[in-house]
Structure 1
Amino acid sequence: MIDVVLKKGKEKAVLHKHPWVFSGAIDNVKGKPANGDIIRLLDSKKDFLAYGFYNDQSRVAVRLLEWDENTPVDDNWFRDKIRTSVAGRAHILADGTTDTCRLIFSESDYLPGLIVDKYADHLAVQVLTSGMQNVMPVIIDELKALLNPASIFDKSDATSRQHEGLETTNVLLAGNQPPELVYVKENGISYGINIAEGQKSGFYCDQRYNRELLASYAKGKKVLDCFCYTGGFTLNAIKHGAASVTSVDSSALALETLEKNIELNNYGGGMQHNGFKSDVNVQLRKFRDEGEKFDIIVLDPPKYAPSRSALDRASRAYKDLNRLGMQLLNSGGLLATFSCSGAMDMETFKQVLAWAALDAGKQVQFIYQFHQPEDHPVRASFPEGEYLKGLLCRVW
């Protein structure tokens, strides 16, 4: 096994079990490892630190796996991590009201670069590192043995794969091609999702508990769901008795699927639903100019800050978006606003909302903090795994 040696004084994060080693921390490499090979990481005194995946094309040159020198990182090591991750989610699926969740969450489950989502009898995987790409035959074999899925579909179409020297891919790995719509349940609500063509791995299961909590306020209310995708917040609001729901998204396919989901759950009668295919910021300004008002507004935008270097620009975008949302609320209305940007921490997000309130001429109370659910755990030594945060705000 090839040795990668750190510069003097660069071992602190490794000793604290952080799984990333940046290229600038490396002093030398004893040999010529291929990208994705497992290497031994040594400190400047040549003492063992950890085993990890190596990639000289990536800014994160080593992704650490195991800190015990006497525990080999072999096929059984990966199989054990998969079994542990899957077992830890079993209770989420136990009562039958939900059959979709994230089974493996990359570094947070000690499998850097591997994401596996379960959609009823189907699995969608995303492989984001060259090291994990090398062990995919073992991963697929273990997932088949554990879960016997109808299909395993590779949704590794993230552009971040380019940083690892990998091409994007969107192919069937095992089983039969999934149907155009795979039907799943979350919180007792049915959804048809398009695994092959949908965003990310097909469905955003990280808002499962947040959707249900917010819907508990929806009875008799006029609700606006922005960046609605296939209707997670919309359908929960309808289920809990909203007077009307307006859904906005730029994707025609998402809105088409949302309408099918309303029909699938027999939610069509007695409640007004309007869908708008539009850029959310444009549509919010149009609602404002038309004098529209809502009781509850959901703002769940895509990632505005993919890195810390983009945080200033993203903060301005979040501020403008939330300012518009606050202006459209009835006095005392609720704003559920989210950021899925890992670079945006909660305190910065609160400050952005304070600026938005000032610009909107509103007073805001933070009454609840939203988080990602337990199938998206945050590893103590890897705080970067905490990406989803949100605030429920009462706006006056």
Structure 2
Amino acid sequence: MPCLNEAETVATCVRKTIGFFAEHGIDGEVVIADNGSTDGSQQLARDAGARVVPISERGYGNALMGGIRAARGKYVAMGDADDSYDFTTLLPFLEELRNGADLVMGNRFKGGIAPGAMPALHRYLGNPALSFVGRLFFRSKIGDFHCGLRAFRKDSIMRLGLQTGGMEFASEMVVKSTLAKYDIREVPTTLSPDGRSRAPHLNTWRDGWRHLRFLMLYSPRWLFLIPGLLLMALGLVSGIALSFGPVRVGEVAFDVDTLIGAAAAMIIGFQSVVFALLTKVYAMQEGFLPSDTRVQKIFGFWSMERGLIFGGLLALAGFGGLIASLLHWRINNFGELDPRESLRLVVPSATALVMSLQAVFACLFVSILGIRRRQHPPLVTDAAEEAAQVVDEAADKVAAERAEERAER
């Protein structure tokens, strides 16, 4: 249980859990991950039978991760120390773990939310919306991404290398477990009004944004790739249509101004797609995201040389268009031109040139990401050098003594 000034409720939570252990014959412990309480929560928890582990780094995720590391059991259940969850109802979680699950999530929307236990904004907008985004982005089946009561195999969670220190830790655990293809299950759980007289630590907008930001950053496909492809498609279709002349839709006429907008959409969309691929490659190499065979096939085929050829062809097309525009200017004796005609040559040509450079730079950067650092053999440590020196000195001393003995004889 993470704890920061929970003197009103922490002892109750500890006693309930210890009673649950005794009732079901479970060899367990209660670990209080204290995050700097100043109200005496630590001693109250010890008196109730818990083991208190001080966690110096502030934050919900930091406290939980510190407590998970300190836990001695094969299975770990986590829940808030504010008495909003009933720790005497952990048996369904434990049974699912014993049946092979890696992570067992509580679902408050299936188990029941008591009146006053959750603000209406969280209940009807925040939690459902963020859970929907999580299911959409990561193809997860979890209905309540942010339930604070959950249980898991300690070794499975430790393998994930969880990093976030704030409230988004709850999302990170589910997302990384999903990407790792863990066996994740849900059980209904109830949420009651907490027993504190003070306001909760949760900040609605700040922590909600941190959850959403985390979900987006861990899904380059939805953050970069899909928006980029949509922009590219819109820009390409509009640009081709407008390159041959104005387009009318009813009484509305689209002309070269819209063509410039279409070119901008093409460039931004292409850059977004490139960012998606670069982000995916980097995240895979650093272990933030699991390997993706589709991405590996793309980069296995799309070598730096092929990318440079593609960029070169785009550049040739762009230069060809610029030469055509110069010839058009020459025909008009290098005088004033009608923008409605000249921009239909210049804008697509400039767009091709910009995209060619983006493609070349992206290929070069991917090649840099693919460089493997040479694994040097471990250097001899100072201690090892000193030991070797002592051995050499002893050997020299023995040799000198033997030489003296021979000389005396």
Structure with greater strand percent: 1
Which of the five TM-score ranges fits, normalised by the shorter chain? under 0.3
Structure with greater helix percent: 2
Q: TM-score, normalised by structure 2?
A: 0.27
Which protein has greater RCO, CA pairs closer than 8 Å, 6+ apart? Answer: 2
Greater C-alpha Rg: 2
